[in-house]
Amino acid sequence: KFASGPSSLPRCAGDPANVLGVLHFKDLLPLLQNPGPIALVELAREPRYVMETTPVLKVLDELRASRDHMLIVVDEHGVCEGLVTPMDVLTAVAGELPEDSEAAPEALQLSDGSWLLDGRLALAEAARVLEVADLADDAGDATLAGRLLRAEGRIPDTGDVIVWRDWRFEITRRDGLRIDQIHARRAAGPEPVGT
C-alpha cells in the first residue's frame, strides 16, 4: 500500500525469498493514469544485495550508493533473509525514534565539570554545552552519537573511549547497537581518535 507505506517494494516470484526486482512508486504512478494492465516485470529494477554479516556502517554506505534505498539481505548460500532500508539502519544505530511525549535528550553537567550526555543529543546542542565551536563539521551527522560513530568507524562497546576535538568521550551505556549515554570530559592531552 503506497499511500502510507514504503516508496518501493520487492517483486517476488512465488516465494517472498525469491526477489526478482524492486518496484518504485514513482515509476508506477504515471502508468496508473492509463487504463489497462501494467507490466510490472518491465518496471522492476535489478535488486542490490548485501550479505547478512556486513557491518552496519558498510550497509549504510551501500544504501547511499543504491538508488532503491532497499537492499536484499542474503546469507552465505545466497538465500534471501530479508530486506534492509535506511530506516532499519537508523533504528539499529539510534534506536527507536522518540515520540513527541518522550523526554528530550539531556546534557547534565557533573560536579567535576564533566558531562553526562544522551547519545541522541543534537550535535549543535553538544557543541553549545561543551563550548566547542567546530564540533559540527561537514560530515552531516545530526547527533553526538552519530558523530562519534563516524569518528570511531565502528559501533563502540560500552566502556570504549573516543578522544575527539580535545574531549574524551566514554560510552557508558548502549541500548542494543545504539549509543545511549556518553560521559564527556576534557582530554588531558592530545590522543589519537579511537583510543
Residue 102 lies in a domain: no
Note the pTM of the prediction, 2 decimals. Answer: 0.48
Grid cell in block for residue 172: 557508558
Q: Which of 64, 76, 65, 96 is nearest to 177 (CA)?
A: 96
Please give the Cα distance from 185 to 12 (Å, whole number): 52
Tell me which residue range forms the domain holding 160.
107-186
Say which CATH number the domain at 128 has.
3.30.465.10
Residue 82 lies in a domain: yes
Q: What is the model's pLDDT at position 174?
A: 92
Q: What is the model's pLDDT at position 124?
A: 87
Say which CATH number the domain at 45 has.
3.10.580.10
* Residue-level pLDDT, tens digit, the chain, 195 residues: 445 556 788 888 888 888 888 888 788 888 878 788 888 778 888 888 899 999 888 888 888 887 778 888 998 888 888 888 888 887 777 666 655 545 666 899 999 999 999 999 988 889 889 988 776 665 677 889 988 988 888 889 999 999 988 899 999 999 888 899 999 999 875 555 554
Q: Phi first, then psi: what are they for 183, rounded to 5°?
A: -100, 120
Q: Domain tally for the chain?
A: 2
Domain shared by 88 and 122, yes or no: no
Domain shared by 87 and 116, yes or no: no
Residue 3 lies in a domain: no
Q: Which of 113, 143, 59 is nearest to 151 (CA)?
A: 143
Greatest distance between any 2 Cα atoms in the chain: 72
Residue 84 lies in a domain: yes
Grid cell in block for residue 31: 502508468
Residue 172 lies in a domain: yes
Residue 1 lies in a domain: no
Domain shared by 114 and 83, yes or no: no
Residue 162 lies in a domain: yes
Q: Is 119 exposed, middle or buried (0-12, 13-18, 19+ CB in 10 A)?
A: buried
Cβ-proximal residues to 95 (8 Å cutoff; 6+ apart), any chain: 120, 175, 176, 178, 180
State the amino acid at position 139 in one-letter form: A
Domain shared by 157 and 83, yes or no: no
> Among residues 35, 63, 92, which one ends one of the domains?
92
Domain shared by 117 and 84, yes or no: no
Please give the Cα distance from 161 to 27 (Å, whole number): 47
Q: What is the model's pLDDT at position 2?
A: 45
Q: What is the model's pLDDT at position 195?
A: 45
Residue 143 lies in a domain: yes
Enclosing H/E stretch for 11: strand 8-13
Domain shared by 19 and 79, yes or no: yes
